[in-house]
Structures are given as structure tokens and as C-alpha cells.
Structure 1
Amino acid sequence: MTRPRPVRLTMPDGSRREVGVRYVLNAGFTGRDTAQVQHHVDELAALGVPAPARIPTLYPLPRHLVAQVDGIQVGHARTSGEAEWALVVGDGPDDVMITAACDHTDRDLEAHGIGWSKQTSPDILGDQAWYLADVADELDRFTLRAWVTHDSTETLIQDGRPAQLLAPSYWLEQLRTNALLRPGTVLLGGTVPMAPGVDQFADAWRVELTDTHGRSSRLAYRVEQLPAAWE
């Protein structure tokens, strides 16, 4: 088996952490407002996207899809990101960090299966992180925002808070119960709504997770479409 890809994170005190990614999980349908979640499921069903068997849900991904890069390549024009937070488990279950993340997704493939769509595109992680134990009580007051770029013009597409999503404590308990809380695990915690009328199929994405003191975990990447296949 290949060596785990390292994730490098800068902590609030300036120290650096490096974690080898071994397992990746993307949480879905994680809103605390269950009525809103069901509305979203119904919207997706109307678009032909099959509903999950259980809500909330988890989608496992190959670990090589986690990256800290400034550009990705995609097969067609209908892919987009989702602003999220991510948990990164370090040396053990009490060594958990939280950082910004963007779950890039193939929207055409999503109609055939959400899990498949997640497993074909990368999860981009931020540069800064916090120890979860240090910020758990204030995390709901963090902000989670995303911007998209079209023809060099940047537009805010997501503007929310972790308070809209199930808390990390919920997911840690679920991972612990299912023997998934292991060193090297990365879990993305779901996303906040997108602004209506903003085109998500963008040339670039940028995400910030910002704490109550103005410190931010950031990521930004360009989206390059591959040339057409010779078929």
C-alpha cells in the first residue's frame, strides 16, 4: 500500500502539524434543520438524484482525493465545490483538528449516485487549523464562506455558520461507535446553502472558515477542464 499523503496544517500558535491521510469520509445531509434537509432531498429527487438510504449519511472516499492544491482538473463543465469544515484526526481520538475544506463534486454523475460523484473529485483542505477541543464551544459562531470566480469576477456563493450543521461532537461519537475514529481520518462535515442565482460551475473556488477572533483557515483553487476524449 502506498504511503499516506500528508496534510500540513498551521496551528494558531504558529506550530506546524503533519498528518498522513489514511481514511476519508464525506458527511451528507447534515443540516440541523431537519425540515430544510428533507426539502433539499426532495429538490434533488426532482432533478433525478437518488435519495440516500439514511440521513445524515457518510460517503467513503479514496484517500488520494484529499489535497492541498491551487488547481484541479475536471472532465467536463458541470462540477462544483461546497464550503465545509473538516476534522483531521492526528495521533489518536483526543488529537483532532478542524480546518476549512471544499468538497468538489461531479454534478452530472450525482444523478447516478451521490457516492460515485464524491469519489471522482477531490476534497481540498485549508492551510490553517484549530485544535477542536480549544474551539468546540465557540465553533457555532465561526463563519463559513465560499466565493466563485467567473471571467476574473469573484462572487460570494455561500455565507453561513457551522451552527447550521451537525456539530463535530456528533460525528466523533458516530465514528467512535462504528470503529472509524482512527489516526489519519479526515471527515468533511457537510455544507451550507448556496446563494440563489449564482452560477456554481465556476473557473475557481475560494473558501474561508473564520473564528471569532478573525483568524481564518483558507483555500483557493482553479478549475481546469480537460480536453474532450477522442471517441
Structure 2
Amino acid sequence: MLTFTLPDGSSVAVEPQVVCNAGYAGRDQAAVASHIAELAELGVPAPAVTPSLYPISPYLAQQTDEVVVQHGRTSGEAEWALIVTGDTRDDVLLTVACDHTDRELEVHGVAWSKNASPDVLGTAAWRLSDVADHIDDITLSAWVGHGSDTADTLIQSGTLGDLLSPNYWLDVLAERKLLREGTIVISGTIPMVEGIDQFADSWRVAMTDEATGATIECGYRVARMPEPIG
């Protein structure tokens, strides 16, 4: 069960039923195609269609401060998330998210890599209807940490206008009869700053409504599992 605190101090609890991660979801699909070509050179298989939508296990939608991983080549992605709390578009919350992804597994299948680690969600949310008229201006930023002795480094910065809109994905949900309580869609991500080590000890993502100054954050440390035997 996930619980979200709203600006008026009330809270909404939702049990995830269907969770989907969007991929290649930039609003500029020409730039997306260029990015896919770059990834192909690194061995990441190209999607059959763009944008893509990958179902993941519902238990992977988590509100946690620690993500446990199997090796050192995993990283987060700054995203937003839609939380459907009822059967209409008026029953949708917006929060911040960080999609932690296994980059080693990604070269074998993006859908597999998305199921290897949690999607970390914020504990606060806004009603989508309350920010819909300026949604594109909301900013999205991520910072990574490398050890306790160094300051966090900005690795992603953009706006929700860089990504396909929440309404685009609500249309997809409605078409697939998934616009119902417990459905969660996570947006896909914005580009990373070149030259920053994404394989970090911690991730922090912030989504800021520039109209009000309100910010929703999520953050977590990355912990390695013990080495396997056998």
C-alpha cells in the first residue's frame, strides 16, 4: 500500500494493481530516434515502437529510502508518476519518481531491466487537475551522490514539457481499459548530463511547481547485496 500526502494535509492510500514504465517518451520523437541509435551502438536493443510502455511487477512501486542491487552498474532515472485513485481523470495524482534500472540487464531487454529494481515514488503528491494548466513548466531534476565526503552532483535537469504529457498516457490507459484505481504510470526520463558518473551511491529527484514554489522529492541510497556463493 502506498500513501500520498496532498497539499491540504489529507492523505490518499493506493494499492498498486497495474504498474507501467514508459520508455522513449520524449516529446521530441526525432531526438528519441537519435538516442535509440546511440543506445544500439552500446548493445541496447531498439524498441519495436515508440513511445514504449513496459508493465512491471506491482510490488516494485515503492516508497523507500534504500534500493538493494546485485552489482555496480545500476542507476536511477528522474521521472514523474501518475497514480490513479478512481475511475475518472479527476481521480489522478501526480508525484515524483526515480526508476532504478539494471544497465547490465538492459542490453538483453529493456523490459527485463525495468523489473530488476524498484520504482521509488515520492510520499507527497498533487492532484493532476490542480496543476494541469501549467504542467509543462513543472521542473524535474536529479542529483547523484558518490560517498559521504562529496556533495551531490546534478545529473538531470528539465521540465515536464520535455516528456509526453500525462494526458497522452491517460488516453493510452483509457484505450486499454486501465484507467482504474491502482494503476500507476511512470513517465520515462529526461537526458542525463554528459560526463557524470550515473553509477552512484545515492539518488535524489525533485519535481518543482514553479508557479507555487512547491517541491516534491524522493531519494534513496543504493546498497549492494553480498557476493553470491556458487
- TM-score normalized by the length of structure 1: 0.96
2:126 paired with 1:130: yes
For the residues of structure 2 that align with 1:137 and 1:74, how far apart are their CA atoms? 39
Which amino acid in structure 2 is aligned with residue 80 of structure 1?
S
For the residues of structure 1 that align with 2:113 and 2:44, how far apart are their CA atoms? 11
For the residues of structure 1 that align with 2:39 and 2:180, how far apart are their CA atoms? 32
Residue from 157, 163, 168 that aligns with 2:161: 163
Partner of 1:42: 37
- Report sequence identity in percent: 54
Which amino acid in structure 1 is aligned with residue 40 of structure 2?
A
- Residue 151 of structure 1 and its aligned partner are, at CA, apart by 1.5
Task: State the aligned residue count.
Answer: 226
For the residues of structure 2 that align with 1:127 and 1:183, how far apart are their CA atoms? 18
Partner of 1:150: 146
Partner of 2:203: 205
For the residues of structure 2 that align with 1:93 and 1:193, how far apart are their CA atoms? 32
- Residue 150 of structure 1 and its aligned partner are, at CA, apart by 0.3
For the residues of structure 1 that align with 2:213 and 2:69, how far apart are their CA atoms? 33
For the residues of structure 2 that align with 1:98 and 1:210, how far apart are their CA atoms? 12
Which amino acid in structure 2 is aligned with residue 135 of structure 1?
V
- Residue 14 of structure 1 and its aligned partner are, at CA, apart by 1.3
Specify which structure has the higher proportion of strand: 1
Partner of 2:213: 214
For the residues of structure 2 that align with 1:202 and 1:146, how far apart are their CA atoms? 12
Partner of 1:101: 97
- Residue 93 of structure 1 and its aligned partner are, at CA, apart by 2.3
Instruction: Report the 3-state secondary structure (helix = DSSP H, G, I; strand = E; otherwise coil) of the residue aligned with 1:191.
Output: coil
Partner of 1:116: 112
Instruction: Report the 3-state secondary structure (helix = DSSP H, G, I; strand = E; otherwise coil) of the residue aligned with 2:185.
Output: strand
Instruction: Report the 3-state secondary structure (helix = DSSP H, G, I; strand = E; otherwise coil) of the residue aligned with 2:36.
Output: helix
Which amino acid in structure 1 is aligned with residue 168 of structure 2?
Y
Which amino acid in structure 1 is aligned with residue 228 of structure 2?
A
- Residue 107 of structure 1 and its aligned partner are, at CA, apart by 0.1
For the residues of structure 1 that align with 2:229 and 2:173, how far apart are their CA atoms? 44
Deviation per CA, 1:75-97: give whole Å up to 9, x if none.
00000000000000002223000
- Residue 34 of structure 1 and its aligned partner are, at CA, apart by 1.4
Runs of 4+ in structure 1 deviating by more than 3 angstroms, as ranges, are: none
For the residues of structure 1 that align with 2:180 and 2:225, how far apart are their CA atoms? 36
For the residues of structure 1 that align with 2:67 and 2:132, how far apart are their CA atoms? 32
For the residues of structure 2 that align with 1:28 and 1:170, how far apart are their CA atoms? 13
Partner of 1:174: 172
Partner of 2:67: 72
CA RMSD of aligned residues (A): 0.8
Q: Is the 8 A contact 1:45 1:51 kept in 2?
A: yes
For the residues of structure 2 that align with 1:214 and 1:192, how far apart are their CA atoms? 21
Instruction: Report the 3-state secondary structure (helix = DSSP H, G, I; strand = E; otherwise coil) of the residue aligned with 1:172.
Output: helix
- Residue 112 of structure 1 and its aligned partner are, at CA, apart by 0.1
Q: Is the 8 A contact 1:32 1:164 kept in 2?
A: yes
Partner of 1:3: none
Which amino acid in structure 1 is aligned with residue 202 of structure 2?
A
Instruction: Report the 3-state secondary structure (helix = DSSP H, G, I; strand = E; otherwise coil) of the residue aligned with 1:210.
Output: strand
Deviation per CA, 1:143-169: give whole Å up to 9, x if none.
100000002221000011000000000
Q: Is the 8 A contact 1:147 1:158 kept in 2?
A: yes
Deviation per CA, 1:27-63: give whole Å up to 9, x if none.
0001111121011100110001100111001000000
For the residues of structure 2 that align with 1:165 and 1:200, how far apart are their CA atoms? 21
